[in-house]
Amino acid sequence: MSTLIAIIIGALVAAGVYCLLRRSLMKLVIGIALLGQAVNLLVFSANGLKSANPPLIEASAKTLAEGTADPLPQALVLTAIVIGFGLISFSLALMGVTYQKTGHDDIDALTNTDT
Amino acid sequence: MKSTILDVTARLLLPWLFFTSLFILYRGHNLPGGGFIGGLVGASGFILLVMGPGLEAAKRALRVDPFSLIGVGLLLAVLSGIGGVFMGNAFMAGLWLPTFSLPLLGTVHLGTPLIFDIGVYLVVMGFTLAMIFSLSEADS
Amino acid sequence: MNNLILLPVFIPFVAAIIGLIFRTLPVQRTLGLIGMAAATISAILLLNVVMEQDYLVLSLGAWQAPFGIVLVADLLSAIMVLISCIMGILVMLFSVQSVDNARQKTFYYPLYSMLIMGVNGAFLTGDIFNLYVWFEVMLIASFVLISLGADRAQLEGAFKYMVLNLVSSLLFLAGAGLLYAKVGTLNMADIALKLAIQPDSFLINSTAILFLISFGVKAAIFPFFFWLPASYHTPPTAISAIFAGLLTKVGVYTLMRSFTLFFNQSFEFLQDILLILAALTMLTGVLGAAAQYNIRRILSFHIISQIGYMIMGLALLTPLALAGTVFYLVHHIIVKTNLFLVGGVIEKVKGTGELSKIGGLYRALPFLALLFFIPAFSLGGIPPLSGFWAKFALVKASIDAEVFWITAVSLIVGVMTLFSMTKIWAEAFWKDAPEETENKVEPKTLKLMYAPIAIMVLMTLYLGLFGQGMFEVAERAADQLLNPEGYIQAVIPQSTEAISKL
C-alpha cells in the first residue's frame, strides 16, 4: 500500500510541476492545486499506513486503547486542506481578475514588472 | 436556465439543511461532526438557493452579510479562549458548566469549546457563502 | 502572567475582527492604530520580562508540551516581535495619508493587522506545524494587500509573488510531514531533543535542505529571489515598505531558529552551502541594483544583498557572528522600511520614482534629503551609523573564523551598496531637475508621512551612536541561540535528565 501511495504522490508531483511549467495561467493554478494534494497525501501517510481503529477514546477509558490510528497526521492534513482551499479560491479569483484586466491567459504576456 | 423543480426543492430543503447543520454542530464534541462540517452543511442550503431561485433570494434568506458572519464567528472563537485567562489558566483552556439533563438532548455538557465550535461554524459558513456569492456575482 | 506572550498576536487579531464587523473606514482605521499601539506596548512588556527570565513559555489550552501547541519567547523572538510592532504602527500611520481611499476602504486596516498578527505568530510559535499556519496567515493577508486595487502591474506582481510563495509553503509542509514521520513530534524543542539523542544524518540533511529551500524562498536568498524584485515595486509604497521590512526577515528568522535549534548536528554539511549561498545572494542583489534606475526597484534589489549578510552571519555560527546577525536584522528592518517610505514621499510629490525624471530634490525638499541621507548611508555602512556596526561585527567574525573569501565578498558588496545609494542621492537629490515639474502634492501637507520617517531616522541614529546596549542584548540572544539546551528545558521541563546525558 505504501508503494502505491508513493507512486501516486510522485505522479501528482510530476503532473503538478508539468502544469506549473506550462504557459497558461489556469494551468498554473491547477499545478499548484495538484502539488498541494501531493503534499497532503505525503503528510497523511507520514506515520505509515496501517489498518487501525478510529482514534476515539472509549467512554469508560481515560487514554487511547492499543491499535488505534495516529490522529495527528489526520488533523494536520485537515488543516492543510482547509488552508489549501482558501488559497486556491484566492488564486482562482486573482486569475479571473488578471484575465479580465490583461485579456491574456498567457504567462509570457506578464513580463512588464520583470527587470 | 430556470428549473422549477430545483427552485421548489431548494426552498423546501433550506430549513432542513439548516437544522441538520445545527445538530451536526452540537454532536461534534465527542462524535464525528463539529463546527466545520456543520458550517459547510449550513452553507450548502444557501448555495442551493443560489443555484435555484438565484443570488438575490439567497441573500434575502441569509439576511446578514457573510463578512459579518466571519467577523462574529472569529470574535466568538476568540472570546471562548479568554475565559481560561480570567480563571488564571492558559489561553484557550477549557471551562465547563456542570452537566445536566434535558429531554430530547440527553446529558448536556456545555463549555467554552462549544462556543469555539459555534465560532468555527459561523466562520466556515460566512467564508463559503462570501466566496460563492462573489463568484456568482462575477458570473452574471 | 505567561499569557502576556499572546498579546502581540492577539491584539491585532481582535482589532481586525472588530474591523470586519463594523465596516466603516474611520472605525477600521482608529481600531487598527489603537490595536497596533497596544500591541507595541505589550511587545515592550514582553521584551522586559524575557530580559529578566530568559524564556517565557505558554502552553495553549493548558495542554502541556510536547502534546499541545506552545508559544515560546526567547530574546531573539522578543526583539523581533517588538521591532515588527514598531514598524507596524509607523507604517500604518504613514498609510493613512499615502494609500488612496478606495484601497483603504477595501479592508486595508483589518488585513494589515492580520499581516502583523501572522508575522508575530511566526516569531513566537514553538511548534513546527503552527509555524506553517502562521506562514499561511501572513501569506494570505499579504496576497490580498499586494493585489489590493488591482492595477495591471500589481496583478502581475501579485501572481509571481503568490505562486513562488505557495510552492515554498508546500515544500515546508512536506518537510514538516517528513520530520514528523521520523521523530513523531511537532514541538520544536522536542524535535531538537529527539534528534540530539538519536541523530540520523540522512534524515536531517534531506529535511534540512527542504527547509532551507522553503525558508530561502521566503527570505529571497540566491537562487530563489526572483519574485521579490518582480513584485515589491508594484503595490502602494506603504504596503511594499512593510513587506520589505518584515516579510523576508521572517524567512531569515525561521532559518536561524531551525538551523540553531534542531539542524545543528549536521552543520558542517550545511555550512559551506550556506556560505556560498550568502556570497551569491550578496553579489546578485547588489549587481541587480546597479542596473536599475527606479528608486523602489533599486531598494528591492538591496533587500536581497542585505539578506546575504544575515545568511553569512548564520553560516559562520560564532557568538560574534550571530550577535552581528541579530543586530543586522534590527538595523536592516528599520533602515529599509525607512528608505521605502522616503521613496514613497518622492513618488507622492513628483508622481514617479524613475531617477531620470526627477532631480533637484535637495533644493526643493532639504528636510527629506536629510531623512534619506542618514538611512542610505547607514545601509552603505558609513561609521558611526548603525549599518557600520552591524557590518563590522560580521566582517570581524568572518576574519576570526578565517573564512577570508567571504570577508572579501562582503567588503566589495559594501562598497557597491554605497555606490547604489550615491546613485540615488546624485540623481534624485543633487542633479538639476530635468524640466520644471509641478509638485503633484504640496509637500507641507504630508505631515503624517514625514512623522514616521523622522522617528525611524532617530531610531537609526540611536542604534548607531548608542548601539552598545542593543549590541549587548544581541550578544545575549546569540548566546541563547548557540546553547539550545536552555530553550529545550524551558519548553519541556521534565527533559532535564535527557539533556544532561547529551
Q: Which chains touch A (3 or more CB pairs under 8 A)?
A: B, C
pLDDT average, residue stretch C245-264 = 90
**pLDDT: which is higher, B89 or C461:** C461
Query: Could you read off the pLDDT of B82-131 as tens digits, one per residue?
Result: 877 777 777 777 777 777 777 766 677 777 888 888 999 999 999 889 88
Checking if the pLDDT of B43 tops 90, the result is yes
| pLDDT of the residue at B139 | 65
Which one is predicted more confidently, A55 or C449? Answer: C449
pLDDT at C277: 93
CA distance to partner chain C, nearest, from residue A60 (Å): 22
Distance, in Å, from the CA atom of C367 to the CA atom of C421, rounded to the nearest integer, reads 18
**Least trusted range by pLDDT, from C96-105, C250-259, C435-444:** C435-444
Task: Please give the pLDDT value at position A58.
Answer: 75
Q: Is C500 a residue whose pLDDT tops 70?
A: no
Whether the Cβ atoms of residue C203 and residue C166 lie closer than 8 Å to each other: no
Distance from CA of C25 to the nearest CA of A (A): 24
pLDDT bin (cut points 50, 70, 90) of residue C66 is confident
- Which burial class, exposed, middle or buried, applies to A67 when counting CB atoms under 10 A from its CB (0-12, 13-18, 19+)? exposed
Name beta bridge partners: C125: C71
Q: Is B24 helix (H, G, I), strand (E, B) or coil?
A: helix
pLDDT attached to residue C216: 93
What residue spans define the domains of chain A? 1-48+72-100
Query: How many CA atoms, within 13 angstroms, populate the side-chain half-sphere of residue A35?
Result: 25
Alpha-carbon gap: B38 to the closest alpha carbon of chain A (Å): 14
Alpha carbon distance A69, B89 (integer Å):
31
Residues C95-111 have a mean pLDDT of: 89
pLDDT at residue C448, as a whole number: 85
Instruction: State the nearest Cα–Cα gap between A102 and chain B, in angstroms.
Output: 17
Q: How far apart are CA C156 and CA C52, in angstroms?
A: 48
Q: How confident is the model at residue C306 (pLDDT cuts 50, 70, 90)?
A: very high
Cα separation, C433 vs C171, whole angstroms? 49
Cβ(C170)–Cβ(A36) under 8 Å? yes
Q: Given this model, what pLDDT does residue B1 score?
A: 63
> What pLDDT does residue C105 have?
87
Peptide bond into C384 cis (omega under 30): yes
| Domain ranges (residues) in chain C | 2-501
ipTM score assigned to the predicted complex = 0.93
For residue C492, give the H/E element and its range: none
- Chain C: residues touching A (Cβ < 8 Å): 129, 132-133, 136, 139-140, 143-144, 147, 150, 152-153, 155-160, 162-163, 166-167, 170, 173-174, 176-178, 180-181, 184, 186, 229-231, 233-234, 288, 291-292, 297
What pLDDT score was predicted for residue B57? Answer: 85
Question: Which CA distances in Å does B39 have to B24, B68, B93, B94, B130?
Answer: 9, 15, 24, 22, 13
With contacts defined as CB-CB under 8 Å, which chain C residues touch A43?
173-174, 176-177, 180
Comparing B8-12, B30-34, C320-324, the range with the smallest average pLDDT is B30-34
Nearest residue in chain A measured CA to CA from B139: A96
Write out residues in chain A with pLDDT < 70, as ranges: 115
The percentage of chain C sitting over the pLDDT mark of 90, rounded to a whole number, equals: 54
Q: Is the pLDDT of residue B140 over 70?
A: no
The confidence score (pLDDT) of residue A115 equals 65
Q: What is the mean pLDDT of chain C?
A: 89
Residue to test with chain B: of C20, C22, C111, C491, most B Cβ within 10 A: C20
Return the half-sphere exposure (C-beta side, CA atoms, 13 A cut-off) of residue C476.
Answer: 17
